[in-house]
């Protein structure tokens, strides 16, 4: 795709009240709607009105995650929308490949080709919920995840695209010659197959990855088609973009086969001063004691005896190598402290906006300028939108920022494709079980 044809890709990260940690206390927020499907339907319809590529639902097994189960919710949204992509987070560590392959194939059929899978290996104290003694180590989770994804793709490919015949005259409902067993045997899994549902309309639902550790970047370069990443500054985003894109050739892939979408968490108003007032109001609603306890746990140092106006010291803090959870987010916080030398209050405020994603406070025109800067200068292919207050933040972006991006030729003016792959400019993968050895791409490890 030429520079003049290249368009932004935009995803809306759904949430109950917003992505600021204190958003639920804001007068415009309605935290009681966290399990109300009408709330999420409204957000999806706003995103679709803005011609966004997709909406995304995070998920986890920690207490108070507060969100509906993704397959259930996104299936309901699929029935009430027409164009918007539907991306669900599903862990590999605490699921089975057959279940995941079947559910995503079902969601892709229900939505007529709009499903996406955000692949995560799992974090937090989930092991005890699933009869496991402890959370597997970081490298073990990624090793298992590679096998998991390989199996899921193999199960999707266990049906040829034309296996379902529905031929009443010749009495052929399904051609058995076009449905094959997988017979996978690996270190972590043994799966016979075939899947019990036809191949998804997209071939594979779009594969998304959210890890930015070294292991995560290597996994993304091999497997992912979209990355949701957290980058606090333009320079860091450029470095990440260049790094990950440079890894693709080793797997026989080109730069346009992987879309990098940093998180963007805006507060918008007609004037910069009005936007700053909203930001200050949100800061005033932060539970500082809870924030300090979470930071202390993450960093491995007790911050509870410090004044909010004390500079944060990393003496005794955990190194990233010691962390068995979200390594990239831990390193992001360490880098932030080293670079900005913040007070404890400043650090809490910095992270409250979107947990380490890029935050922006200002006018729609200023935000359009920032988006264009990142997009045109090798920092992003688009953004994972994380409004700090829902639904007003998304409405303002759609009504004020999208038209400006369209005027600049940076974003579509109508949906041109029917599937999520189409929105993202990604090819539909051929069925690997039908490709002859001589036709397969050579991947260099």
Q: Are 200 and 108 in contact (CB under 8 A)?
A: yes
Please, which residues bridge with residue 259 across strands?
A: 226
Quick one: tokens of 334? Answer: 């360490």
Question: Residue 438 has what pLDDT?
Answer: 40
The residue ranking higher by pLDDT, 331 or 162, is: 162
Q: What pLDDT digit, counting tens, does each position of 194-237 carry?
A: 999 999 999 999 999 987 788 889 999 999 999 999 999 999 99
Q: Is the dihedral of CA 268, 410, 374, 427 positive or negative?
A: positive
What integer pLDDT is reported at residue 439 of this predicted model?
A: 43
pLDDT, tens digit, 9 for 90 and up, residues 35-68: 999 999 999 999 999 999 999 998 988 655 567 8
176 class by beta-carbon count within 10 Å (0-12 exposed, 13-18 middle, 19+ buried): exposed
Q: How confident is the model at residue 323 (pLDDT cuts 50, 70, 90)?
A: low
Please say whether the dihedral angle defined by the alpha carbons of residues 70, 427, 373 and 404, taken in this order, is positive or negative.
negative
According to the model, what pLDDT value does residue 62 have? 66
One-character DSSP codes across 167-179: ETTTTEEE-GGGB
Q: Per residue in 242-253, pLDDT tens?
A: 999 999 999 999
3-class SS at 112? Answer: coil
Q: Is the pLDDT of residue 2 over 50?
A: no
Over the chain, what is the mean pLDDT?
Answer: 90
Q: Is residue 436 classed as helix, strand or coil in its secondary structure?
A: coil
pTM above 0.85, yes or no: yes
Residue burial 9-46, b: 16+ Cβ < 10 Å; e: rest:
bbbbbbbbbbbbbbbbbbeebeeebbeeeebbbbbbbb
Residue owning tokens 């298992």: 144
Three-state secondary structure of 366-425: HHHHHHHHHHHCCCCCEEEECCCCCCHHHHHHHHHHHHHHHHCCCCCCCCCCCCHHHHHC
3 confidence band (pLDDT: 50, 70, 90): very low
Q: In the prediction, which pLDDT does 325 show?
A: 59
Measuring CA to CA, which residue among 129, 58, 62 is closest to residue 297?
62
Whether the per-residue pLDDT at 346 is higher than 60: the answer is: yes
The strand pair at 85-91 and 54-57 is best described as: parallel
**Among 136-145, 229-238, 271-280, 312-321, which is the least confidently predicted range?**
312-321
- CB of 140 closer than 8 Å to CB of 111: no
Q: Is 441 exposed, middle or buried (0-12, 13-18, 19+ CB in 10 A)?
A: exposed
What is the Cα–Cα distance from 431 to 341, expressed in whole angstroms? Answer: 52
pLDDT band at 355 (very low <50, low <70, confident <90, very high): confident
Give me the pLDDT at residue 366, please. 98
CA distance linking residue 317 with residue 311, whole number of Å: 14
Q: Locate tokens 């991006």: which residue?
A: 405
User: Looking at the predicted structure, is the pLDDT value of residue 328 above 70?
Assistant: no
Checking if the pLDDT of 436 tops 60, the result is no
- Percent pLDDT > 90 in the chain is 70
Q: How far is CA 93 from the centre of its chain?
A: 17
Instruction: Report the sign of the C-alpha dihedral through residues 122, 126, 128, 129, in that order.
Output: negative
* Cβ atoms 87, 118 nearer than 8 A: yes
> How many CB atoms are located within 10 Å of the residue 348 CB?
23
Average pLDDT over residues 134-150: 88
Which pLDDT score is estimated for 435?
59
Task: Lowest mean pLDDT of 139-148, 390-399, 415-424, 430-439, name the range.
Answer: 430-439
* pLDDT 10s digits, 368-388: 999 999 999 999 999 999 999
The burial of 283, by beta-carbon neighbours within 10 Å (0-12 exposed, 13-18 middle, 19 or more buried), is given as: middle
Residue 126's pLDDT is what? 76
- H helices within 180-271, ranges in order? 214-223, 234-246
Q: E strand or H helix at 48, and its extent?
A: helix 37-49
Cis geometry, peptide bond prior to residue 143 (ω within 30 degrees of 0) = no
Mean per-residue pLDDT for 70-84?
A: 97
Q: How far apart are CA 253 and CA 250, in angstroms?
A: 7
Residue bearing tokens 């994804």? 149
Instruction: Kindly report the backbone phi and psi dihedral angles of residue 266, in degrees, each rounded to the nearest multiple of 5, phi listed first.
Output: -95, 150
Q: Give mean pLDDT, residues 146-157.
A: 97
Query: Any alpha helices (H) in 300-354, and if so which ranges?
Result: 327-340, 344-352
Residue 147: what pLDDT?
96
The string of pLDDT tens digits covering residues 263-307 is 999 999 999 999 999 999 999 999 999 989 888 887 888 888 888
pLDDT of residue 18: 93
pLDDT of residue 132: 77
What percent of the chain clears pLDDT 70, i.e. is strictly above it? 93
Asked if residue 246 lies in contact with residue 279, where contact means CB atoms within 8 angstroms, the answer is: no
Question: What value does the mean pLDDT take over residues 394-409?
Answer: 98
């Amino acid at each position: 795709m030429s520079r003049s044809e290249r368009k932004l890709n935009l995803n809306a990260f759904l949430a109950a009240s917003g992505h600021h940690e204190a958003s639920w206390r804001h007068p415009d927020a309605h935290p009681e709607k966290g399990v109300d499907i009408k709330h999420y339907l409204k957000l999806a319809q706003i995103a679709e009105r803005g011609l966004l590529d997709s909406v995304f639902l995070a998920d986890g097994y920690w207490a108070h995650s507060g969100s509906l189960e993704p397959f259930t919710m996104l299936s309901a949204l699929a029935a009430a929308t027409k164009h918007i992509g539907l991306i669900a987070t599903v862990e590999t560590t605490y699921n089975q490949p057959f279940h995941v392959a079947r559910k995503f194939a079902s969601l892709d059929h229900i939505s007529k080709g709009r499903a996406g899978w955000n692949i995560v290996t799992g974090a937090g104290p989930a092991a005890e919920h699933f009869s496991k003694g402890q959370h597997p180590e970081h490298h073990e989770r990624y090793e298992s995840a590679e096998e998991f994804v390989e199996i899921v793709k193999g199960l999707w490919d266990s049906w040829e695209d034309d296996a379902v015949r529905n031929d009443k005259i010749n009495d052929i409902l399904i051609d058995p010659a076009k449905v094959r067993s997988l017979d996978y045997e690996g270190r972590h899994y043994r799966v016979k197959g075939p899947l019990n549902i036809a191949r998804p309309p997209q071939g594979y639902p779009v594969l998304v990855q959210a890890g930015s550790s070294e292991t995560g970047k290597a996994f993304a370069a091999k497997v992912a088609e979209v990355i949701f990443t957290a980058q606090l500054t333009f320079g860091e985003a450029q470095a990440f973009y260049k790094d990950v894109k440079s890894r693709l050739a080793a797997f026989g892939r080109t730069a346009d086969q992987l879309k990098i979408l940093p998180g963007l968490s805006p507060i918008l108003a007609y004037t910069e001063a009005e936007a700053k007032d909203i930001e200050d109001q949100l800061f005033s609603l932060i539970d500082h004691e809870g924030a300090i306890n979470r930071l202390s746990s993450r960093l491995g140092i007790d911050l509870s005896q410090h004044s909010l106006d004390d500079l944060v010291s990393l003496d005794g803090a955990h190194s990233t190598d010691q962390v068995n959870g979200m390594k990239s987010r831990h390193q992001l916080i360490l880098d932030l402290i080293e670079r900005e030398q913040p007070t404890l209050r400043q650090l809490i405020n910095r992270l409250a906006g979107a947990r380490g994603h890029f935050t922006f406070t200002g006018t729609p025109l200023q935000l359009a300028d920032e988006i264009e800067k990142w997009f045109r200068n090798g920092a992003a292919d688009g953004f994972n939108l994380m409004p700090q207050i829902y639904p007003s933040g998304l409405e303002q972006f759609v009504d004020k920022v999208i038209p400006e991006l369209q005027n600049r030729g940076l974003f579509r003016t109508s949906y041109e494709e029917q599937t999520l792959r189409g929105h993202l400019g990604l090819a539909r993968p051929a069925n690997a079980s039908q490709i002859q050895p001589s036709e397969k791409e050579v991947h260099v490890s």
